[in-house]
Chain A
Amino acid sequence: MKLLVTANHTPFIAGGANYHVEGLVAALRRYGHQVECLRLPFHYGETQIERQMMFAEQLDLTAPNDVLVDRVISLQFPTYGLHHHAHVVWLMHQHRVCYELYDPKQASPALAALKPQVEAFDRRHLSGAKHLFANSPRVAERLHYYNGLMAEPLYHPPHQAEHFTCGDDWGYAFYPSRLEPLKRQMLLIEAMANTRTPIKLLLTGEGSQRRQLEELIERLGLGNRVRLLGHISEQEKRTLYAHALAVAFPPFDEDYGYVTLEAMLASKPVITCTDSGGPTAFVEHGVTGWKCEPCPQALAAALDDAYAHRAQAKQMGKQGREAYYAEKISWHQVVTKLVYSE
């Protein structure tokens, strides 16, 4: 089949979304389809967003240049606004600043004006999709809550899922993610100042928060227990997972959260927060990890618990891996649903 995958393009900003898009294209090709990926440039800013919505709505991809496209699979806002008779949406997330991240007290007039337009755009195009999938239960939940639309959660495996292994724990918690406010590394560092055990914390990734985090580590006197490792290779990441005592993942309202799945694949328990969104669907408190209140004291207690009860933490990690298998997460399932759902 001739399939067109549509997504956004934000030059030199790479994250989980990038892997999601590339992973899907690769999987579809592996399964024998002719696949092209159409990535539209995405810019933040209310005026830009309005223009991008209009542009997407003008695109008809039924037969570009007389080449018939069998199905279009859209992953991101606003690309799901384009036209095709067999248009399937596998939603990563909506334009979040107009939904769960919208704060009426702090919103600029331009954002307040944009919000109803985005909501109408989403209702119009998401309800018109042939099939509507979400990449996690959290995204489906938001869609139902804000737009009254039902979407089927459809999971996909993390990048190179088969390469994750488990080694001896070397007494540290690990958190790989972009250093951004929504990822809440700050909260975790503050939690480290509240721990009573000598557990260490290794953070990887780059982002806008780096300087603030470095300052916080210094201010709290945690230089000998907390380290920002910056960008690391995939192999280094897997090694850090393999030897971690636990994986800490306390973001705010994450969509899906590869970190949780990668931790489970590496047989490591996950410490997350009750408001962390996606990860909470996979972590079972006391079985595969800890779900804490989003405050430094609660996170510190979980970190100490993991350190003080190593055997229990190890067992939780094993249970996490079993839970991953039980979910039957695979590209095979994704391709079958996206391509063959009638």
Chain B
Amino acid sequence: MTNVEQDIDTLVKRLKDQAMLADTQDSLAIESWLWLWQQRLVPILQTQQHRLYDPRAPRLAELLSAHLDDQAFVERAYSFLMGRMPDQQGARYHSELAAREGRVATLMILLQATETQDYIKQERLELPRGLLRLNRWHRRLTALSGVCRRGLWGWKVIVNLLWRRYQQRWKEEGEFYDILVHQGQRREEYQALAITLTEMADIQQKMMTLGIALPDTSRPGASLSQAASSQAKPPIKWLSDEQAAAMIKLLRDALRGLKANHKEAP
């Protein structure tokens, strides 16, 4: 008996069984997720509208934003972390530091200043999550470096390598966000992106729990940055090759478009 010829009771029973089966598979319906992400990401990446910067609640990417020059970066960081503009000496010192050591390092130094800590307490300032995460890693690595200075030279080399790797990751992630910020994303679009990224991470987590092969990194921000680079490995190995290629192509095209616009912007 073919599907079409079956009697109506059998047909209804088959449909109910099928629905029950689909229900159990639903949470891992990767194709559905992929479709959803594409639906969300495409309009976000294509948008040209301007996002408003909120000085009381900036995101890490906005603090590190590459479209600011070093002086503007220092002013923004001072303004958020200390509630004032830098004096001439401070501005020069930190701008040079940012140029030499990078913005992440400069931000960490500013964050640890007594004045910053007092201001955070006094104003009950809520630090962006990205900044807290950055600070946590910075402290861990610095502590390890301290141990290494006392003679464990092999460890010191490893820690330095780790430190450099993470700096590179932050830089890539920052670059991706910078493009979005510079394109003037509106807050809600940016948040929609964040939701998408969180979902991607959640799915990866589910896959990991089930013991399915995962890429070497499960950080979605990093994955996106890597997707933009031609030498990068496909970041979404847990999809079929075809699906992964489609996703990467989508992101790469979108990023290429954004970068082109970024260069054209005055």
Query: Interface on A for B, CB 8 Å cutoff?
Result: 30-33, 161-163, 165, 167-172, 198, 200, 202, 224-227, 229, 233, 235-236, 238-240, 242-243, 330, 332-333, 335, 339-340
B22 touches A335 (CB 8 A): no
**Contact residue among A30, A161, A162, A229 (Cβ-Cβ distance under 8 Å from B12):** A229
B8 touches A225 (CB 8 A): yes
B191 touches A31 (CB 8 A): yes
A165 to B31: give the CA distance in the assembly, Å: 9
- Does more than half of chain B's interface fall in helix, strand or loop, or is it mixed? helix
B36 touches A162 (CB 8 A): yes
21 contacts between A and B (CB under 8 A): A32-B188, A162-B35, A162-B36, A169-B3, A170-B14, A171-B11, A198-B4, A198-B5, A200-B8, A202-B12, A225-B8, A227-B8, A227-B12, A233-B23, A235-B19, A240-B15, A242-B18, A332-B43, A332-B44, A335-B188, A340-B186
A235 touches B26 (CB 8 A): yes
A32 touches B4 (CB 8 A): no
Least CB separation from A163: chain B residue: B32
A333 touches B11 (CB 8 A): no
Question: Beyond A31-B191, A171-B4: 17 further Cβ-contacts under 8 Å?
Answer: A30-B195, A32-B187, A33-B188, A162-B33, A168-B3, A170-B6, A170-B15, A171-B5, A224-B7, A224-B8, A233-B23, A235-B19, A236-B15, A238-B19, A240-B19, A330-B39, A332-B40
Contacts of A335 in B (CB 8 A): 188
Contacts of B188 in A (CB 8 A): 30-33, 335, 339
Contacts of B16 in A (CB 8 A): 236
Contacts of B3 in A (CB 8 A): 168-171
Interface positions of B from 20 to 47, Cβ below 8 Å from A = 20, 22-23, 26, 29, 31-33, 35-36, 39-40, 43-44
Contacts of A198 in B (CB 8 A): 4-5
B189 within 8 A of A: yes
B192 within 8 A of A: yes
Interface residue tally for chain B (C-beta within 8 Å): 36
**Contact residue among A162, A163, A170, A238 (Cβ-Cβ distance under 8 Å from B39):** A162
Given contacts A235-B23, A236-B16, A239-B19, contact A170 B11 (CB under 8 A): yes
Contacts of B190 in A (CB 8 A): 32
Contacts of B18 in A (CB 8 A): 167, 239, 242-243
Contacts of A239 in B (CB 8 A): 15, 18-19, 22
Nearest CB of chain B from residue A1's CB, rounded to whole Å: 9
Chain B 170-200 interface mask (CB, 8 Å, partner A; 1/0): 0000000000000000111111100100000
B7 touches A31 (CB 8 A): no
3 closest A-B pairs by beta carbon, nearest first, are A31-B188, A171-B4, A239-B19
A30 touches B22 (CB 8 A): no
A238 to B19: give the CA distance in the assembly, Å: 8
- Does more than half of chain A's interface fall in helix, strand or loop, or is it mixed? mixed
Nearest CB of chain A from residue B265's CB, rounded to whole Å: 21
Contacts of B19 in A (CB 8 A): 233, 235-236, 238-240
**Contact residue among B8, B23, B192 (Cβ-Cβ distance under 8 Å from A30):** B192
Chain B 50-88 interface mask (CB, 8 Å, partner A; 1/0): 000000000000000000000000000000000000000
**Contact residue among A172, A233, A235 (Cβ-Cβ distance under 8 Å from B11):** A172
Contacts of A163 in B (CB 8 A): 26, 29, 32
Contacts of B44 in A (CB 8 A): 332
Contacts of B29 in A (CB 8 A): 163
A242 to B14: give the CA distance in the assembly, Å: 13
Given contacts A202-B12, A235-B22, contact A162 B4 (CB under 8 A): no
Least CB separation from B17: chain A residue: A239
Nearest CB of chain A from residue B32's CB, rounded to whole Å: 5
A32 to B31: give the CA distance in the assembly, Å: 27
A187 to B33: give the CA distance in the assembly, Å: 38
A319 to B4: give the CA distance in the assembly, Å: 23
A307 to B14: give the CA distance in the assembly, Å: 20
Most B Cβ at <10 Å: residue of A162, A172, A227, A229: A162
Contacts of A31 in B (CB 8 A): 187-189, 191-192
A332 touches B4 (CB 8 A): no
Nearest CB of chain A from residue B18's CB, rounded to whole Å: 5
B8 touches A330 (CB 8 A): no
Least CB separation from A157: chain B residue: B39
A200 to B8: give the CA distance in the assembly, Å: 7
Nearest CB of chain A from residue B90's CB, rounded to whole Å: 34
Contacts of A240 in B (CB 8 A): 15, 19
Nearest CB of chain A from residue B188's CB, rounded to whole Å: 3
A238 touches B22 (CB 8 A): yes
A339 to B29: give the CA distance in the assembly, Å: 32
Nearest CB of chain A from residue B6's CB, rounded to whole Å: 8
**Contact residue among B4, B43, B186 (Cβ-Cβ distance under 8 Å from A170):** B4
Least CB separation from B21: chain A residue: A239
Nearest CB of chain A from residue B148's CB, rounded to whole Å: 43
A169 to B14: give the CA distance in the assembly, Å: 13
A216 to B23: give the CA distance in the assembly, Å: 34
Contacts of A161 in B (CB 8 A): 39
Nearest CB of chain A from residue B204's CB, rounded to whole Å: 18
Contacts of A233 in B (CB 8 A): 19, 23
Contacts of B11 in A (CB 8 A): 170-172, 200, 202
B191 touches A32 (CB 8 A): yes
Least CB separation from B36: chain A residue: A162
A33 to B188: give the CA distance in the assembly, Å: 8
